[in-house]
Structure 1
Amino acid sequence: MLRALLLLCCLQSALLKDVEDPSWCVIDLSCAECTPDNMPLVTSARAADGTVRAAPGDELALSCGAGRFAAYPLRADLTVRCDAGRYRVAHDAALLSLLDLGCQENVYEDVQHSVEHCGPPLQGRSYQLRAGGGARHLAAMCYDADRALPVFARVSSAGTLQLAPHADARAPLSLLGNFDQMFDAGTRHAAERLFADDAGLARRLREIMRPERFDFAGQKLTAGRLLSPLYFDDQDVRVAEFASNKMAVWRSVAEGNLAHLQADVAALLRGARRAGRAVDVYAGTSGAGALRAAGGRRALRLRGARFPVPRYVWAVVVDRAAGRSLAVAVLNDPFVAVSEVREAVFCDSLCGRAGWLRELRRLRGYEVPLYGLAFCCSLHNFTVPELPSALLQHVRPGAEGLLTDFYT
């Protein structure tokens, strides 16, 4: 037994040494400082936990999709070999750092796009991977550009969305189209600055509430993601970092029941994929958060009348073929009073019946307001105005329409 234990420890030590050896080429896709501004796709290997690892001598195929490399303006694809932690380019033998191998443009795009159930004044967007003459649509977003807030977004267990026939090729913009893109760039820049770091958010919030001398009791805002990186496979997790996917969430909620809900939704998507089921996930925001101040409730808007803190963050899973669904809302208000809970929870919660909500139901933490009070509704009783009402026709009413079981 002792020999076996020693052998196991030696094997683990050897494995760790291999992975951490500086001669390996390790691409941490979640580290913005470790990758080029426009990181190419690694088409020869899959990422695990957001990281691509290559042993010394391994070849990697890099692609800029429909674009070109900044260092090689005539090439859209490169073959490189891992060489002592750097990358030996096959065609000219140059030894480069990964930071020197960026694309001229981002491989992933966040672009204006026609989105079902998202009409003016709301703005449809597509998160897509452009390759060759077409695009693979990873998610669709409905965005309120006036308030600078994501309204709802959609992903699928298939990993890509099947949208109505449309042209992906870019056409010359009209004067109005150019103006829209200019406005969109300004909103994107403001969102990137606002959500760049939590310390800046904390200072801004303190300044907004300074006249009321509000006691935050250690609570802070953070940049929450409407679509979790967990919803995407492999290198596609990078689309969750788009500025239009971000919103202000109280940290205890973001790290509490919102994180638990998103982990459960991601597990449901993986289970549906293994079972060959087509499941759509709609995620959204609703309402405007506020704090109780001396003069009444004070709405929380972080830049003038824009960037409100949403009152609810919600997710709806829909299995259209089975006619089943479940809606889950998380109250983004750790300060909610006991007397306000009845008004805040607008349906008789069914979370106790949903077996796939494993993380959310653990230790009944979904009932704790500090972590974001969570409650579950049938789709027909889910009354947030942001939810596309057309979804109701795909779901049976009553208990028969509840998606409560995990896909196996």
Structure 2
Amino acid sequence: MNIVVIGAGLAGANAVEELRTQGYTGDITLIGAEPHPPYERPPLSKGLLLGAADPDSVFIHDTAWYADQQVDLLTDTTVTDIDLDTGHVSLADRQLSYDRLLLATGAQPRRLPLADGSGADVLYLRTLDDALALHARLTEHLLIVGAGWIGLEAAAAARQAGGTVTVVEPAALPLAHVLGDQLGLLFADLHREHGVDLRLKTSVAAIDHTRGRTTVRLTDGHELTPDLILVGIGAEPDDHLAASAGLATDHGVLVDARLRASDPHVYAAGDVANHDHPLLGRIRVEHWDTAIHQGRHAARTMLGDDEPYTRQPYFFTDQYDLGMEYVGHVGPNGYDELVIRGEFTSRITTAFWIRDDHVVAGMHTNNWDAIDQIRTWIGREADGDLRNPAIPLADLAAPAGVKPTASR
């Protein structure tokens, strides 16, 4: 059997590693559009951006590992076409045949045409080269468009480097659509305390770049002259190759519970996979943990494992002296209750999102012993003790051992 993986990111690299771990000895080709071997993306907006991590530390393996594992790693290589009928992928200079094909093409930053067409210095933070370019300019005046995870992590890095930072966000609070107003306020206060000019209910109205000087007018009437504009307004799945090949797509490659696409020989994992999760319904997750575990799961599925992928989404952030971990998925149906323990002065908190009397998500800030216990509650029925913030998390009885319920 010959396996081809398109996308040399975290999902693709973990897939090929798992294939070898499971004893697969056939041919593997791993194809990446970037000139680098596969690397971890979280450091791009965290340790690497801060200068706390060496650029070489982000690589999952050195290039020798792929040769040792008999993985044909093709970097700086673009796949131009997939022929599902013949089982071939086309490169610029040749075709490769496959028996199993894994799509791990990830996502691309959502563009801001107003910025792109302005002539100003504009960056998007997605690649290793993006992070290195941004790191070199953190001490300048940085305008960040979007107060999501990338925008806020970049703001924290710039302030810690001594830069001037303005963040514009059309919503009333940062991250409120993910965390709710109370926890959104926690992050707003955190950044303002560290000197970020956080302008909420505001967006960019106009950008003028004349004779090397950039002037930005905001919808609140304020004007500023940043040295660099960083756009962080989300990402879109890189599914155009799959769609043009005739695979079923809908804001990502549609895959079943086992990560199989609409063609029986094709699979998808990571940011590009729109997964039919057995507990959560259709979901596409753009996080580090999902890329790792879906990559490994897809590898096992390609080798004949028939188990569905049921892992709950997980993500984390580090901003200044605040660390956060979140597990679960609130989903489009939202939540009925939010139970928060702790207090915002110390920013040592835990939180649970509850819908229909069941816990759908949980998180902590600066409470690093909490995440394992939080995980045990996801999908379980919320009892009175869980709902009582006066009872410390450590004193809660373990949740009843019932089967987690679907949270569609």
| TM-score calculated relative to the size of structure 2 | 0.24
| TM-score calculated relative to the size of structure 1 | 0.24
Which structure is richer in relative contact order (CA contacts within 8 A, separation 6 or more)? 2
Give the structure with the larger helix fraction: 1
Structure of greater Rg: 1
